[in-house]
Amino acid sequence: MVVPRIVPSMKIGEIRDLIRMKPLELDATRRRLSACHDIDDLRSAGRRLIPRPVFDYVDGGSEEEVCLATNRDAFQRRRFRPRALAGVATVDTAARVLGEGLPFPLLLGPTGYTRMMHPGGEIAAARAAHRRGLPYTLSTMATTSIEDLRRAVPGAELWFQLYVMRDTGLNKELVTRAAESGYRVLMITVDTVVPGHRTRDEHNGLVIPPALTAGTLAGIAVRPGYWMRMLRNPAIEFAHIPGKAKTISGSISLFDPSITWDTVADLRTLWPGKLVLKGPLSPADARRAISAGADGIVLSNHGGRQLDRAVAPIDLVAEVRSALGPEASILVDSGIRHGADIAVALACGADAAAIGRAYLYGLMAGGEPGVDKTLALLTSQFIRTLQLLGMRSADELRAVGQDIFQHP
Ligand SMILES: Cc1cc2nc3c(=O)[nH]c(=O)nc-3n(C[C@H](O)[C@H](O)[C@H](O)COP(=O)(O)O)c2cc1C
């Protein structure tokens, strides 16, 4: 058989001139991240690198995961009606949250056990946020302490998230430490009075921190890099929990299910800065939050990890904005995976959006550079969305509001 020559008369040098060779990236993390073009790519990269129980702990939701799916659908079902020829050579992404300017309408929400995803943990995420001038929220269930994080990112805009504990002395202590370390905002989570039932964690027999059991030993062969990193770094512990409760259920049983609006009013008197409640899911509760002394709220269903079949928070933003008026700060999370989702949030009336999994996927895929990649992707997607919508600024989109959507 005669094999035809594809380019019979070309020399190798001429072919090389035609093909633009990409320089070979020798750093494995950079190579991996450069192949990630959206948040879903980061998720897939993380899934390949991280043991299944840990990946599922991040990725999963509660019960039947109805809420998890609904959160994405609520963002993706909206359709835009763009404005043509608006002169969008430059766009201004500035936003205002709780009386302070932000370069971009986004913040990194609290996530527990973050060093389990990558040893860089909370510090990696906070550094990446700080580089872009965005707030980072440290969880009560963090694996880095309030003070250690502040020392690692001295000038950063840090917020502290409180799960109200049965131990009222501990609540007071944590709030005081956060204030003394210059955390600007206290975020009290109200949707976790009892732990959500995470079905995947039950199936996987998740142990926190991941332990070298017979089951996980088998996983070492499949994910050696993860285990090498874990073994080379300090053991993962809850930084704020006395006695260092070792399991999720053990630590969550420290939370106080009897909290009421009076608890919020009490905490308000202890906290000198701005205060937000994370997790109210109705206009009535949003109003109540403001009456109890909150300066704003985060509409959230905990990313579908608590009450399954809870309403998607994005579907409440417009109603809550009407209930609270223009002054209160309204943030929204649960399901944000694309810059266009942030545009949807602003058009509905939110001041900014918050992310959980989107930055954890980046962290799992590549540590601090992975979180950088998450933020770079969301930023470029948001800017491109504004330009294609014909909006010159985030403010303009907020002002146009829901008119930007096609109404069914
Ligand atoms: C692994 C993980 C841990 C979380 N830990 C906390 C926490 O400690 N405190 C809290 O208030 N919310 C916690 N959340 C909820 C997030 O702050 C946020 O509400 C949620 O992730 C938003 O949904 P998204 O992941 O779809 O962006 C956690 C979420 C995940 C995925």
User: Where is 286: in which H helix or E strand?
Assistant: helix 283-291
How many of the other CB atoms lie within 10 Å of CB of 24?
6
List the alpha helices (DSSP H) in 35-166: 39-49, 52-59, 66-76, 121-131, 146-152
For residue 141 and ligand 1, the question of a CB distance below 6 A is answered with yes
Atom number of ligand 1 nearest to Cα 137: 17
Domain boundaries, the chain: 32-404
How is 299-356 classified by DSSP, letter by letter?
E--TTTTSSTTPPPGGGGHHHHHHHH-SSSEEEE-SS--SHHHHHHHHHHT-SEEEES
Residue 100 pairs in a beta bridge with: 97
Number of neighbouring beta carbons within 10 Å of residue 352: 26
**Whose Cα sits closest to atom 29 in ligand 1?**
111
pTM above 0.85, yes or no: yes
Distance 4 CA to ligand 1 centre (A): 58
What is residue 392's DSSP assignment? S
Write out pLDDT tens, residues 324-360.
999 999 999 999 999 999 999 999 999 999 999 999 9
Instruction: Kindly state if the Cβ of 313 falls inside 6 Å of ligand 1.
Output: no
* Token pair 């006395």: residue: 242
* Centre of ligand 1 from the C-alpha of residue 355, in Å: 8
- The residue annotated as part of the active site, out of 130, 302, 338, 407, is 302
Give, as one character, the DSSP assignment of residue 112: T
Ligand 1 contact via 61 beta carbon (within 6 Å): no
Minimum-distance ligand 1 atom for the alpha carbon of 59: 31
Query: For position 241, what pLDDT does the model report?
Result: 85
Q: Please state, in angstroms and rounded to a whole number, the distance separating the CA atoms of residues 210 and 207.
A: 5
Successive 10-residue mean pLDDT values, the chain, 408 residues: 56 70 84 98 97 94 98 98 98 98 98 95 98 98 97 98 95 98 98 93 78 64 85 88 64 86 96 98 98 98 98 98 97 99 98 98 98 98 98 98 93
279 lines ligand 1 (CB under 6 A): no
Task: Give the start-end residues of each E strand in 198-287.
Answer: 274-278
Q: What residue type is assigned to position 173 of the chain?
A: E
Sole residue written with tokens 């994405």: 72
Give the list of residues 6+ apart from residue 158 with CB closer than 8 angstroms, or none.
126, 135, 136, 137, 138, 149, 150, 181, 182, 183, 184
d(CA 357, CA 374): 10
10 Å Cβ neighbour count for 216?
A: 18
Cα(192) to ligand 1 centroid in Å equals: 11
Strand 95-97 with 100-102, pairing? antiparallel
Find the 231 Cα to ligand 1 centroid distance in Å.
26
Ligand 1: residue whose CA is nearest its atom 14: 111
- The reply to whether ligand 1 has any atom less than 6 angstroms from the CB of 303 is yes
CA nearest to 53, candidates 290, 261, 216: 216
Instruction: Provide the pLDDT for residue 252.
Output: 66
- Give which of 239, 82, 246 is closest to 173, Cα–Cα: 239
pLDDT at 111: 98
Active site residue 302: yes
Ligand 1 close to Cβ of residue 328 (< 6 A): no
Whether the bond between 154 and the residue before it is cis, its omega within 30 degrees of 0, is no
Instruction: List pLDDT tens digits, range 96-111.
Output: 999 999 999 999 999 9
Q: What Å distances lie between residue 407 and 80, 336, 341, CA to CA? A: 9, 21, 17
pLDDT of 124 reads: 98
- Ligand 1 mean position to 116 CA, how many Å? 14
3-state SS, residue 178: helix
Query: Cβ(338) to ligand 1 under 6 A?
Result: no
Of 3.20.20.70, 3.90.1150.10, 1.10.1040.10, 3.30.43.10, the CATH number of 32-404 is: 3.20.20.70
To the nearest 10 degrees (0 to 180), the angle between helices 224-232 and 214-222 is 110
